[in-house]
Structure 1
């Protein structure tokens, strides 16, 4: 591998939804970007590496010697049926990465690790970092255990943990809510089956998340946990109305009882206060309508 003087960023899970956006963003900023994925990639900067193999990560880190690391690789689908896989990848995969960093010759200036707002569980209202987490599924619980393990490295590595709330954009898989809705409009479907359309959640832009990660990565902040959120909630009915305007037709909504969760929280959003106090508030640069329109027109 050619050794260059430009700063290097290493992204695990680089070919996932968020990873692809981060790769493009940092390449445009003239960084050298490397990453891992589970399958063979045609790109020379992306390596096949299973994060459950600590030795493989160790060898790769020694080869790349990154200045910054962003850890995204995880089982991120809440409905994943393989429970053991969720815990293995999300907890032990992260521990393998951190152990390999310490054993290797690399000395990254900052490590950003993606957790999830799912650690809070189903709690009504505005969720702050100071709240006691109470996850209600294996995905959220695996992320909380992962966070607790990561904090043991705080005194030895410069780490930030982020808890992103719902976000979306072009390229996200259709089993997520917003891509599912948009795909129905793109295909001119007459009907769509959904759950409760009167719940309020955050639906942020992937570009907002990328900017937050960038600002946190290059800040002086370390050993902290941050919500990555806007604090701006929308209900699904509003999203449907916006899509009706964008697509210029109205879709018929059928409420499928299978999609309606028991004791569903009506309003859930994050508090961005800590985030905005640290990196500023740039939420006005992003709009839900703009995100939906981009997804529809791509």
Structure 2
């Protein structure tokens, strides 16, 4: 095996992000040598330079987390440039370098779009509702072109949540509002239900996916398996905090392209030994405690 002293060396793109911050310690605890692969370390514009970087550092495996995921819409061109075309350059580099281990491409369950009553399986239809989901699906299509040269697993996280998450996302923004005891919260449709997964459970699934036997796992959902309405999150935060702000519906925060219902099947994660350890109340309680102990900036009172 290549890598320093025969150890598996996993390069992690987007190492400073929310998921990377939780995944890297999990990998290291499982015996991996991790190598942060941020823009300051490697030239992502040049596949040949990237291939040289991978070879010089003895990289055996890659977890590709880097992505554009602005929840408020973001720059459409940036979605495709970062999520699809940057991914293609990294795949080219990995193939040129002869990556011996796994290329774990972290996509998103947004590629599915709305699911029916049954949880969405990995081999189910793909109907992304917006440019973010479409850019992730394009990355998956491009990855398929490299399966003859690379061992590729596509991981599709649903809505990860946890302490330390950027407050521009809905759940940490709500948690901050409850921690600051905001008297009123104006937001969109609270009947929308999504699959929310604790970041600690997500990191466990990702680590297990990286370690699955060679060429045994084409895709895996990183999810809880349950659709949770936004209204349930609000009710749980009210119970945990003892604070009941006025929740006022505002049509301006209902975005075109929002998914209304999604739950994702977790059978593949369970087959790898994953056991969920954090339910909704546990996760929100953890986040609320962290937000209460911090000294946050004033929360935005209007939430999407």
- TM-score of the two chains, using structure 2 as the length reference: 0.86
Check if 1:198 corresponds to 2:199. Answer: no
| Aligned counterpart, 1:131 | 124
Equivalent residues, number: 286
1:66-145 matches, within 5 Å, as 66-104=59-97, 107-125=99-117, 126-145=119-138
User: For residues 266 and 179 of structure 1, do their structure 2 counterparts lie closer, same or farther at Cα, with a shift above 3 Å needed?
Assistant: same
Query: What SS does structure 2 have at the residue aligned with 1:128?
Result: coil
| Aligned counterpart, 2:173 | 180
Q: Which range is displaced more, 125-134 or 260-269?
A: 260-269
Q: Give the superposition deviation at 1:261.
A: 4.0
Query: What SS does structure 1 have at the residue aligned with 2:263?
Result: strand
Deviations 1:84-125 (A, max 9, x none): 221111111111111111222x53311110111111123443
Equivalent-residue separation in structure 1 for 2:248 and 2:16 (angstroms): 34
| Aligned counterpart, 1:288 | 280
| Aligned counterpart, 2:269 | 275
Equivalent-residue separation in structure 2 for 1:170 and 1:4 (angstroms): 35
Equivalent-residue separation in structure 2 for 1:264 and 1:27 (angstroms): 36
Kept in 2: contact 1:69–1:108 (CA 8 A) = no
User: For residues 264 and 147 of structure 1, do their structure 2 counterparts lie closer, same or farther at Cα, with a shift above 3 Å needed?
Assistant: closer
Q: Give the superposition deviation at 1:214.
A: 1.1
User: For residues 28 and 87 of structure 1, do their structure 2 counterparts lie closer, same or farther at Cα, with a shift above 3 Å needed?
Assistant: same
Return 5+ residue gaps in structure 2 as ranges: 291-304
What CA RMSD, in Å, does the superposition of the two structures yield over aligned residues? 2.1
Q: Which range is displaced more, 50-59 or 12-21?
A: 50-59
Deviations 1:237-285 (A, max 9, x none): 2211211122121122111111224696653211223433x314512x2
Equivalent-residue separation in structure 1 for 2:100 and 2:58 (angstroms): 8
Kept in 2: contact 1:11–1:19 (CA 8 A) = yes
| Aligned counterpart, 1:260 | 254
1:138-157 matches, within 5 Å, as 138-157=131-150
Q: Which has the higher contact order (CA 8 A, sep 6+)?
A: 2
Kept in 1: contact 2:159–2:195 (CA 8 A) = yes
| Aligned counterpart, 1:7 | 8
